[in-house]
Structure 1
């Protein structure tokens, strides 16, 4: 209840985006390997941003 109006930090937003890209990459891995690899690369770049925030 106390966290109801709490805003997400930049790190939390980036991690959510990272998770979404990995999920899309996994779904595409069976149908379009090139697009899947692009999504995985984008996810890795977001992970680098997350690590740089620490």
Structure 2
């Protein structure tokens, strides 16, 4: 009945995913390839979680 009050978990994950990608891009621009790789890996894990939630 009040389903519209529930938050969509994929929206939060999508926002976090986009923030991680932006942080990775900024790290790459600054020449910090180790941070870029770490942040990109974290973003990929978030993307996998998003896809898992969408498929179920």
Runs of 4+ in structure 1 deviating by more than 2 angstroms, as ranges, are none
Q: Confirm whether residue 44 of structure 1 aligns to residue 44 of structure 2.
A: yes
Deviations 1:1-42 (A, max 9, x none): xxxxx6641000000000000000000003200101100000
Deviation of the 1:43 alpha carbon: 0.1
C-alpha RMSD over aligned residues: 1.3
Q: How far, CA to CA, are the matches of 1:52 and 1:22 in structure 2?
A: 19
Structure with bigger helix share is 2
Equivalent residues, number: 49
Q: TM-score, normalised by structure 1?
A: 0.83
Point out where structure 1 has 5 or more consecutive residues left out of the alignment. 1-5
